[in-house]
Amino acid sequence: MKIGKIRFDKPPVILAPLEDITDLPFRLLCKEQGADMVYTEFISSEGLIRDAVKSTVKMDLEEAERPVGIQIFGHDTDSMRQAAQMAATANPDLIDINFGCPVKKVVNKGAGSGILRDIPKMIEITKAVVEAVDVPVTVKTRLGWDENSKPIVEVAEQLQDVGIQALTIHGRTRSQLYRGTADWTLIGEVKKNPRMKIPIIGNGDITSGAIAKEMLERYGVDGIMIGRAAIGYPWIFSEVKHFLETGETLPPPTIEERVRVCKTHLEEEIKRKGERKGVVEMRKTYGHYFKGVSHFKPFRIELVNATTAEEIFTIFERILSAELQLVELS
């Protein structure tokens, strides 16, 4: 698979852009676990051109995470053009346009998957962004607006015609949000369309190596993107890639490994954002890091209520001690 100067010898396993999740510390953890490419959180074009601190900070990149893409979203063509040019100055490997976010506050502004109700505008914005920058431009979108409007096969052709270099498709409509099961059938239709020459990346419900292998083989996509299954679980990338290479399922990470990586994640968040903000932002991930751990529930409440790193590190030690006691009892 090739996107500009980026080349993959095997179908890549990619970290999806996730708001409030795929910041730099988490992207680096996913790279350590084998993610072939990562994306920033999506960045508002309006926020970026107004020099909003929250937007510009999201463009902080490190060499260790490459290849990395910056994802932008918006509804105004000129703002998206300017935002793309600003994003290009951060020297990403590519710029991705978010035409898939289903969140109401984004959709109501005609951005994200809201653009799926105005395909001509979608193409206009894409063309403007492609022409504004020298780095490769890609798009992430959905099948369509609702069950009665799934124009992705035709839309994919139009996006390719205005110059995008890869297309990621989430196998749901905007109306579905994240409900139900992702439908990869139309993703496969896009891939087998003889007019399509750019890489097609499939996204939606990839939660294991076996599912990843099935989607790659059944629908022939060039790569897969993992979103929600990666939240608080960067090991998904090593597990998927190991299965693709060997057909074997890796054992889940031990409690010691979960604590070690979660602690590293917290430390890096604090280093970049300060203790108060780092501690607060990590609260949403603890349930994911320790999912399936039988004795974790009371500790989760403590972790969410903790206000300092020292408190959290002490709770981590108690989680390990509780695990050791369970092992001894067994």
Beta-bridge mates of residue 141 = 99, 169
Same domain, 94 and 215: yes
Q: Which of 14, 72, 101, 137 is catalytic?
A: 101
- Quote helix, strand, coil % in the chain, to nearest 5: 50, 15, 35
The neighbour count for residue 160, using CB atoms within 10 Å, is 21
Domain boundaries, position 299: 255-329
Tally of structural domains, the chain: 2
Same domain, 190 and 170: yes
Q: Is 300 helix (H, G, I), strand (E, B) or coil?
A: helix
Q: Are residues 95 and 199 in the same domain?
A: yes
Are residue 259 and residue 218 in the same domain, yes or no? Answer: no
Q: Is 115 exposed, middle or buried (0-12, 13-18, 19+ CB in 10 A)?
A: buried
**pLDDT digits (tens), the chain, 330 positions:** 999 999 999 999 999 999 999 999 999 999 999 999 999 999 999 999 887 777 888 999 999 999 999 999 999 999 999 999 999 999 999 999 999 999 999 999 999 999 999 999 999 999 999 999 999 999 999 999 998 999 999 999 999 999 999 999 999 999 999 999 999 999 999 999 999 999 999 999 999 999 999 999 999 999 999 999 999 999 999 999 999 999 999 999 999 999 999 999 999 999 999 999 999 999 999 999 999 888 898 999 999 999 999 999 999 999 998 876 655 444
> Has 101 been annotated as catalytic?
yes
The last residue of a domain, from among 206, 223, 246: 246
Where is the domain boundary, 246, 276, 296?
246
76 contacts: CB under 8 Å, gap ≥ 6: 45, 46
Tokens of 57: 């900070």
Three-state SS at 9: coil
Model pLDDT, residue 292: 87
Q: Phi-psi bin for 51: left (phi > 0), alpha (psi -120 to 50), beta?
A: left
Last residue of a domain, one of 192, 227, 246: 246
Q: Same domain, yes or no, for 222 and 115?
A: yes
Looking at the structure, tell me whether residues 224 and 300 fall in a common domain.
Answer: no
Half-sphere CA count of 60, side-chain side, radius 13 A: 13
